[in-house]
Chains A and B, each alone.
Chain A
Amino acid sequence: MLPRKAKGGSLPFACLLMSSLIPATAFAQYHPKDTEWPSYAADLAGTRYRPLDQINASNFSNLEIAWRIKTDNFGDRPEYKLEGTPLMVNGVLYATAGSRRAVIALDAESGELLWIHGEHEGKRGGAAPRQLSGRGLAYWSDGVDERIFYVTPGFRLICLDAKTGARVPSFGENGVVDLKLDDDQTISDWNSNHEWVPNLETGEIGIQSAPVVAKDTVMVGAAFREGMTPRSMRNNKGYVRGFDVRTGKRLWIFHTIPKKGEFGYDTWDKGSAEYTGNTGVWSQITVDEQLGLVYLPVESPTSDFYGGHRPGNNLFGESLVCVDLKTGERKWYFQLVHHPLWDMDISSAPILADITVDGKPVKAVAQPTKQGFLYVFDRVTGKPIWPMPEKPVEAGNVPGEWYSPTQPIPSKPAAYSRNGVSTDDLIDFTPALREQAKQIVSKYKLGPVFAPPTVSKLEGPLGTLTMGTASGGTNWPGGSYDPETHTVYVYACNSCIEPIGLVESPKEVSDLRYIAGVAGREVQILRGPGENAGADSPKPPKRRAGSQYQRLDIDGLPLVKPPYGTISAISLDKGQITWQIAHGETPDVVRNSEHLKGMNIPRTGQETYNIGTLVTKTLVIAGEGQVTTTSEHPRGAMLRAYDKVTGKEVGAVYMPAPQSGSPMTYMVHGKQYIVVAVSGGPYSGEYLAYALPSAGE
């Protein structure tokens, strides 16, 4: 458990480090350096870019583990879903870790633990919708004070002294702002009499992403339980707030569901804005400090796949919203999906990019999405860089549903991952496999992006077969951006099929008319990690005759053709994909398939939704999300590096488990490090720090 020293590495720097933490120039504003990683996504623009080049194509494969830290003891149980990206400032690495969502500070060279902070929240933490270690934290300094901000599973904003890990007493109440209070709503929950009553302990709201600090404002969104089978059309709302970094005083709030009298309220027919909830910003917020503008990626409203109780376009659901950093006032918005029905949360950080289009400089914002479109706007005005015409889309026939007749479709760049399912997409290694796949999908409705969900019927369709919805395309890790070449690099799951079927909900399960389900099978509330199916929860009806398990693979082979997962390079100057590669070793189940014996299958990439990329001076770096066992390496996964200009792989290094949090990089005392979170399956969470061997080794 103790951090290992780099082989032949330098002496511990603890004493030197502590003295170096005292700034030479008191009260100077903190200016991040290129060698540091001061924000979750490297900077407030969401780039995941650092112009470092000590680790490059010539030596990437020589990387060694400089230090590592297991997170098992940062909580009362080990965690197998470590999703954090650490920060590194002034030689100290800060991260969230473990099932407690502890905050740890480590010596960035040796991995030595400098301090740890944890909040024991009892039932409030245990009832939280988004538990475990979360994705990270935020750093702030005025040149004298250094502060670390994070949000606990129980939805408290904590301010720590970065030097000691102690709460800062002058912030909020003894270093804590209770985010369930002062939220322009009363956080509530259902009681045993099925009444919606205030409840700060179990009232559903939380967040797993990192807060964001810009200038002297710390911003926090909100997240909820998974939304496929909500218990009710009513829920708490996911407003966004800004707080003073020094005092914790609330500076502003943005109502992601407008209140009566506010702009957008009339996009919720029949008063549905009053009771509909969710619509939070659970992913990363980005900020242009110079312009004083904040970019909010907003998720779906309550009930991912059935919107019959919220007729209308539902602003600001699934919208990119730009607000003022000082006031939270809306500057512009663009709704990517009207009347959301596909769980197309805007799931990752908007990326700020200063680009050149048709010879003119443009301050742009680019938004990767689950649906594989990269939506690019002028970030000052919100006007699309290339036309996004409203195009007619199919209306479904789910009783009580309300359909938007059109959706905006970007004309450029082209979709960088599949966002619909057609027969042409199906596996075609052999004619027999293609036939089997056709047989399986014949029980479903197929269609392009925005094909509507269907009521699930035993005789068919069981549902709509979709891609680019709940777990497809790009999810929370988002993309990277290279400001030198004006290129976005982004991973996408190109094979994450999601069947969307709806079944009538028994009243004892949900007050919605329809929730996600499959005809003939029990209606079941789908939950996220840590949500308890309590002893008093209503019992679902018994299974009806005729139900069958329908697997959406053929002996493990994905139903669709490779590539299963890709990394794309997209030029923002041109609005074009410049290269696209399959990311990840061919899965064992494909490489060893009896169906494919004797065939030479090129690398397929992997079906996974949680891969973040890192871009440096010359490389795009990303780990694999699946474990493989090959003739080249034992059971494990590879951290891979690609030439950022060509996409050609130039190196790879072994990891004992899949990448589960996005990689970051920094340089301390002349040495570059890459840190990545790994976990999954049998392997509990661990941060690995890679560096080149020291001279002479």
Chain B
Amino acid sequence: MVSSSCVLWAQEPAESRSVWDGVYTEEQAKRGEAVYKKECGACHGEMLTGGESAPPLTGGGFQANWNGLTLGDLFDRIRKTMPQSKPGSLTRQQDSDVLAFMLNMNKFPAGKTELYRQSEMLKEIRFETKKPTAKD
């Protein structure tokens, strides 16, 4: 997964996007925050720092888990397994909004367009921990 996406990036830098490219909007993150607080915060913590039994959704450990994968992978993980008591009970829009809130809390920049709701399209957005320096 890592090597193939790196190859893709190397070949098509202009079309390939990452979480550093403003892939959600502030407004979407705000909607996501409301959903998060209702559906996710009790286990993962209001500040996404995790609980005794649920992992953090922010910070170095969380980001390292997803480094090199795509937002599609992260979206599918949420969609298929969360909330744990009722997996799949949120709409795609709600899941997408929660993902936008998570990106915001992880200090990835907001942009002008909202996140997709389709896994296949989200798979085109790479989750990268390191901020690219050569793309300015």
Chain A interface residues toward B at CB < 8 A = 77-78, 80-81, 126, 131, 226, 228, 470-471, 521-522, 524-533, 549-553, 556-557, 587-590, 592, 606-608, 626-629, 634-635, 680-682
Contact B43 A682 (CB under 8 A): no
Residue of A78, A531, A590 touching B43 (CB-CB under 8 A):
A531
Please tell me if the beta carbons of A682 and B73 are within 8 angstroms of each other in the complex.
yes
Seen from chain B, the residues whose Cβ lies within 8 Å of a Cβ on chain A are: 2-3, 37-39, 41-43, 45-47, 49, 51-55, 58-69, 73-74, 77, 80-81, 84-87, 129-130
Main secondary structure of the interface of A (DSSP, over half): loop
> Do A529 and B64 touch across chains, with their CB atoms under 8 A apart?
no
Residue pair A589, B51 in contact (C-beta under 8 Å): no
Closest to A78 in B: B81
A634 touches B81 (CB 8 A): no
A sample of 15 cross-chain residue pairs with beta-carbon separation below 8 angstroms, ordered by A number, consists of: A131-B84, A529-B43, A533-B38, A533-B42, A556-B59, A556-B63, A587-B61, A588-B129, A590-B60, A629-B68, A629-B129, A635-B67, A681-B66, A681-B77, A682-B69
User: Within the complex, what minimum Cβ distance (angstroms) separates B58 from chain A?
Assistant: 8
A550–B105 CA distance with the chains assembled, in angstroms = 12
Q: Please, which residue of chain B has its CB at the minimum distance from the CB of A304?
A: B52
Question: Nearest-CB distance from A223 to chain B (Å)?
Answer: 11
Question: B2, B37, B45, B77: which contacts A526 (Cβ < 8 A)?
Answer: B45
Question: What chain A residues lie within 8 Å of B55 (beta carbons)?
Answer: 680-681
Q: Which residue of B is nearest A547, CB measured?
A: B46
Question: Is B51 a contact of A226 with CB atoms below 8 Å?
Answer: yes
- CB neighbours (8 Å) of A131 from chain B are 84
Q: How far is the CA of A532 from the CA of B38 in the complex (A)?
A: 11
Q: How far is the CA of A21 from the CA of B87 in the complex (A)?
A: 41
Q: Which residues of chain B are near A550, meaning CB under 8 Å?
A: 47
> Do B42 and A524 touch (CB < 8 A)?
yes
> Which A residues touch B63, using CB under 8 A?
556, 588-589
CA gap between A126 and B46 in the complex, in Å = 24
Q: Given the known A-B contacts A524-B42, A527-B51, are A532 and B64 also in contact in the complex, defined by CB atoms under 8 Å?
A: no
Pair B64/A628 contact, Cβ less than 8 Å: yes
The 9 closest A-B pairs by CB, nearest first: A681-B65, A589-B60, A532-B85, A527-B42, A528-B53, A556-B60, A588-B64, A627-B64, A587-B60
Contact A80 B81 (CB under 8 A): yes
A573 to chain B, nearest CB (A): 35
* Chain A residues near B58 (CB-CB < 8 A): 551
Which residue in B2, B43, B77 is a CB contact (below 8 Å) of A635?
Answer: B2
> In the complex, what's the smallest C-beta–C-beta distance from A503 to chain B, in angstroms?
12
Given contacts A528-B53, A529-B54, A590-B60, contact A635 B68 (CB under 8 A): yes
Contact B84 A529 (CB under 8 A): yes
* A552 cross-chain contacts in B, Cβ below 8 A: 49
